[in-house]
Amino acid sequence: MIQPILYNNIYNNNNTKPIQMPQGNRNYILVNPIKVDYFVKQKENALPYITNVLSNSSNEAEITENLYILDRLIENKTPNIDKMYPILSRFNNTNSPNIQTFLAGIYRKIQTPDAFGPLIAMLIRNAINPPQTNFDPNEEIGGAILAYLSDRFCK
């Protein structure tokens, strides 16, 4: 298992910045690339640490950062991320457009059948009460829904 203390001792210094959430005209997050690369290189060994953070954190920036790392792990072909659905499902009812966007992107890639209903619910909630943000999380949510449908019916 990854030791976050080791990461903090090796990689954290005054030159690295924590995640910066979207603001103003910037509709994307800024992450610490050194931190992200460190965890992505760990592959499956990073999953217990990320699971712990996602299970216990209530900090939107920390959750978003770890969802970003998880998304990068998927892109890096790390196995068994689909087994994290019970942890990820904790955020199915979030109103955070940042968390919704990354969660939908992860669901699009892992295609866990149980995530389809929560994606529909997110889209409906956002249609009724549109999020006040400088980007539209429904683009990613809708794309994830379409990926679920196309993968099942367009073969």
pLDDT band at 5 (very low <50, low <70, confident <90, very high): very low
pTM recorded for the entire structure? 0.87
Q: How many residues would you count in the chain?
A: 155
Between 135 and 71, name the one with better pLDDT.
Answer: 71
Q: What is the CA radius of gyration of the chain?
A: 16
Inter-CA distances, 76 with 44, 81, 90, 105, Å: 11, 11, 24, 14
Q: Where are the domains of the chain?
A: 4-153
Nearest to 59 by CA among 9, 14, 21, 108: 21
- Using one digit for the tens of pLDDT, what is the confidence trace for 108-118? 999 999 999 99
- Using one digit for the tens of pLDDT, what is the confidence trace for 31-82? 989 989 999 999 999 999 999 999 999 999 999 999 999 999 999 999 999 9
